[in-house]
Structure 1
Amino acid sequence: MKVSILPYVLLAAVPSALAQNWTFLEGLINTLEGAGCTTLTGAASQLNSSDQGKSLLATLSSGEPYVLFAPDNTAFSNAPSNLTSDITDLFAYHIVSGNFSGVATTYPNVTLGRTFLNDTQYVQLEGNKSQVLAWAIRSDGKTHVLNQVNDSTVTNTTTYGNVTINVVSSVLSYPASFTNSVPYVNSSLTSLESTLTNVSVPFYNSSTGSLSNASVLDVVNSGLRGFTLFAPNNSALAAIQNGLATLESNTSLLQIILDNHLINGTSVYSPELVGQSFVSAAGEALTFAINETGQYVTSGNTTAQIVQPDVLLRNGVVHVIDRVLFNTEENASAASSAAASATSAAAHSTTETRPIGYSQTATLDGASGAGASSTSASKKSSATSVLMGATIGQMVAAGLTALGIAVGGLMTFG
């Protein structure tokens, strides 16, 4: 009888207080090997080289529910070396905390869970939150992990103890910046990328003490920590091409319109939008509705359909829409109030152990994710306004990670 020595290697990675759980780890490894994930189990032995890796192993054997997205052997053989070089971070992004049984959404409704990946080299979300993972059932009846360069599907599901194991066909890549995501994840945003490049704003970097103009694209790529962008696709921008040319000569007005597509300071995922109202970076209300035809966002007198939700970025989330939200109004007072609330909320984040958008105390039975209609009253949430004022205004970056603005002056948020 062949006996794998790997469980004993993994045992060395577990704090002594949890050494009695070696039988759990041995069983998990055997289950993974039986599911065709032997390369994954071999890589797991490298987790012993870091404290985070040891903690991940101990966490899995804690008895709490987790979902492990386990790349099969073929997935590992096809994965680029730069993705598999840091095994600890790789594992961290493949583990989701919580019980996801009974939650299976059909695209465009999306299921999202919070992973353990919080390495600041790859994640710059508000409140130092870990990155999320998104998946959905597509028309082929298969569960697809979204936002991947190479399409990754769940090919098999099994369980071992408290761990649900979803075997996937590709090693999952981390969300990247807006610019690095557009060519690979959503080519329908190339026109918006060009527009964001053509608009510049005063940007103050408190780390270097320098003030200079930066394109809105640069700010979105690396100057914001936590944001939600409702991004008009190429067709939406083409529909207003003549007006867009005029707007680009009226920078102040264009900046306000862009502000009304942005919730800053908060990454709001599609299940959290249903029936809610948020404050844009211009201080105007963004309201949301859902019906049998899809999910919609309204700003001022314009309503657009969200045609692709939850395009994950390293520092926020994008929802692709089919119309430009042509709202030229702004409310600096509302934006300032939202800024203070968002900063406070980010500082008091809690651990999420259920699908994002679900109540921490609600049952998952019968849940339908973002497709569930909301009967709750609209609740106004907050968003940091770094893009506000008569124009976009001045922006502050503390080491390009924390941003803030106050009416009439600069303020750095830690």
Structure 2
Amino acid sequence: MRFLSAAPLLALVPAVLGQDTTILTDLLQSLTSSGLTRLSSIAAQLNSTTAGQSLLSQLSSGASFVLFAPTDNAFNSASSNITSDADILSSVIAYHVVQGNFTGISTTYPNTTVGRTLLNNSTLVQLEGNKNQAVAWAARADGKVHVLNQRNDSIVSNTTTVGNITINIVDHVLNIPQSLAVTVPADNVSLAGIDTALKSVQLSTNQSGSAAFFDILNTQLHGFTFFAPNTSAIQAAASSLSSLQSNTTALQALFQNHLINGSTVYSPELSGQNFTSAAGEPLSFVLNATGHFVTSGNVTAQIVQPDVLLPNGVLHVIDRVLLNTQVDSGAASSAASSASSVATQSTSATAPIGFPATATLTGPGGSAPAASGSGGSGNAAAGGYLVPSMAQVVSVGVAVLGVVAGGRLVLA
């Protein structure tokens, strides 16, 4: 495609926006001088869409933003439909702009920094309360800042500032979070087991009569947090899961105790907090020097991959199956109602989510909580149930009692 040079572009922007665009002019000049000519010239395309003009207007407002700025080579490697379709381009660039002042914030993985972007296209984002989509980043062991959970590992190569805008130069165009149906199979290894299991268990719904738990998470919930055991966790729990082949109540509890219903809770919001699962059971969290941990019943798992972002929620990959089959329907209903109420309240999108993400939170004695209930020794979960292997769950295809209403899961 043909890109405009900086000079005619800078003359075009004020005429289109009809306002003082000194900040935007300085930004575009900075991008051009930094060799980011393709991103600079893309502003002309953004001006051709309502969403794009809104984006440029916000950048001109004087408020603080973080701009993840792809290099020219990044755009050369991006899918052609991104740069050829102005509407798609507006959404993609909106996902590269984070609201708020993040100066001086430094997190080292598995701690993450999470911020709200300007992306709010309802065809791409279905979070509770009409919230904007988020993006997560952190410094890894190589000392470089990485944008997390991207199909291509996106690394910040340089950082500069223009007024209140921090420019993080990245080596890939960021991918907008995609559905569970796209995200989980793309993983190929660590989530293969939970992919199969979630597709095998049926829930009753008020929309289609019944649907696989996987499909409900994929499209029917607007706002959820799911702690997804990786494949090795499922394999390690096989012997503890051997007697639940036809226990529909325990199957319901098992999966719903991995789910926070109606709320998208990113990892910086979990530390030292307590939440209620979709089955009504407490979920508690600890962050210390050895990692980030979640406990349900008598089982503690480590979060080994945080903040896998989805259009309608978030996954946190864990290293153990939470073998809790207890249910508290009253607590589950109360938590779901509370989530619905909170979703209607306005919240600030101009600060790091859950900041400070680097707060030091420790368990007793400052050590990691003891993990339990995940090995192959036949550990019993709370309530006396023993849970079957996921291979057996796959063969069951059993119906689980539950209803999806208003984008949240409701116990029947």
CA contact (8 A) 1:302 1:325 kept: yes
2:15 to 12, 16, 30: 12
* 1:370 CA displacement: 4.2
Give, in whole Å, the separation in 1 of the partners of 2:241 and 2:217. 20
Three-state SS of the structure 1 residue aligned to 2:7 is: coil
2:197 to 195, 198, 215: 195
Give, in whole Å, the separation in 1 of the partners of 2:81 and 2:239. 43
1:49 maps to 48
Give, in whole Å, the separation in 2 of the partners of 1:29 and 1:292. 42
CA contact (8 A) 1:149 1:185 kept: no
Q: Percent identity?
A: 51
1:156 to 152, 155, 158: 158
Alignment-mate amino acid for residue 335 of structure 2: A
User: CA offsets per residue over residues 163-218 of structure 1, 9 Å max, x none?
Assistant: 1111110000011112211233573011000001110011222xxxxx42211011
Give, in whole Å, the separation in 2 of the partners of 1:110 and 1:185. 20
Distance 1:304 1:374, change over 3 A: closer
* 1:263 CA displacement: 0.1
Distance 1:120 1:248, change over 3 A: farther
Alignment-mate amino acid for residue 33 of structure 1: T
CA contact (8 A) 2:116 2:133 kept: yes
2:286 maps to 289
2:250 to 250, 253, 257: 253
* 1:277 CA displacement: 0.3
Distance 1:110 1:186, change over 3 A: farther
Three-state SS of the structure 2 residue aligned to 1:257 is: helix
CA contact (8 A) 1:274 1:374 kept: no
CA contact (8 A) 1:13 1:57 kept: no
CA contact (8 A) 1:27 1:160 kept: yes
* 1:404 CA displacement: 5.2
* 1:334 CA displacement: 0.6
User: CA offsets per residue over residues 312-347 of structure 1, 9 Å max, x none?
Assistant: 111101111111111111100111111111100000
* 1:284 CA displacement: 0.5
* 1:256 CA displacement: 0.7
Three-state SS of the structure 1 residue aligned to 2:143 is: coil
2:346 maps to 349
2:382 maps to none
Distance 1:162 1:374, change over 3 A: farther
Alignment-mate amino acid for residue 4 of structure 1: A
1:372 maps to 360
Q: In angstroms, what is the RMSD of aligned CA positions?
A: 1.9
Alignment-mate amino acid for residue 299 of structure 1: S
User: CA offsets per residue over residues 61-116 of structure 1, 9 Å max, x none?
Assistant: 11111001111100000001244431110111000001111111111110010001
Alignment-mate amino acid for residue 408 of structure 2: L
1:396 maps to 404
TM-score (norm 1): 0.85
Alignment-mate amino acid for residue 10 of structure 1: V
1:107 maps to 109
1:37 aligns with 2:40: no
Three-state SS of the structure 2 residue aligned to 1:318 is: strand
Three-state SS of the structure 2 residue aligned to 1:12 is: helix
Alignment-mate amino acid for residue 5 of structure 1: P
1:386 maps to none
User: CA offsets per residue over residues 368-394 of structure 1, 9 Å max, x none?
Assistant: x2453289xxxxxxxxxxxxxxx8423
Unpaired segments ≥5 residues, structure 2:
364-398
CA contact (8 A) 2:6 2:40 kept: no
CA contact (8 A) 2:281 2:296 kept: yes
CA contact (8 A) 1:176 1:313 kept: yes
Distance 1:271 1:97, change over 3 A: same
1:336 aligns with 2:339: no
CA contact (8 A) 2:157 2:169 kept: yes
CA contact (8 A) 2:75 2:172 kept: yes
* 1:47 CA displacement: 1.3
Three-state SS of the structure 2 residue aligned to 1:356 is: coil
2:119 maps to 117
Give, in whole Å, the separation in 2 of the partners of 1:392 and 1:273. 28
* 1:349 CA displacement: 2.9
2:130 maps to 128
Between Structure 1 and Structure 2, how many residues are aligned? Answer: 370
Alignment-mate amino acid for residue 35 of structure 1: S
Give, in whole Å, the separation in 2 of the partners of 1:44 and 1:248. 57
User: CA offsets per residue over residues 256-286 of structure 1, 9 Å max, x none?
Assistant: 1111000010000111001110000000000
What pairs with 1:210-229 in structure 2 (closer than 5 Å)?
Answer: 211-229=208-226
1:178 aligns with 2:166: no
What pairs with 1:76-91 in structure 2 (closer than 5 Å)?
Answer: 76-84=75-83, 85=85, 86-91=88-93
CA contact (8 A) 1:288 1:297 kept: yes
Distance 1:370 1:194, change over 3 A: farther
1:381 maps to none
1:25 aligns with 2:13: no
2:70 maps to 71
Three-state SS of the structure 1 residue aligned to 2:16 is: coil
Three-state SS of the structure 1 residue aligned to 2:173 is: coil
Give, in whole Å, the separation in 2 of the partners of 1:109 and 1:316. 19
Alignment-mate amino acid for residue 267 of structure 2: S
Unpaired segments ≥5 residues, structure 1:
206-210, 359-366, 376-390, 409-414
Comparing 183-192 with 259-268, greater Cα deviation is found at 183-192
Distance 1:291 1:404, change over 3 A: closer
Distance 1:356 1:41, change over 3 A: same
User: CA offsets per residue over residues 132-177 of structure 1, 9 Å max, x none?
Assistant: 0000101111111111111111111111111111111000001111
1:231 aligns with 2:228: yes
* 1:20 CA displacement: 2.3
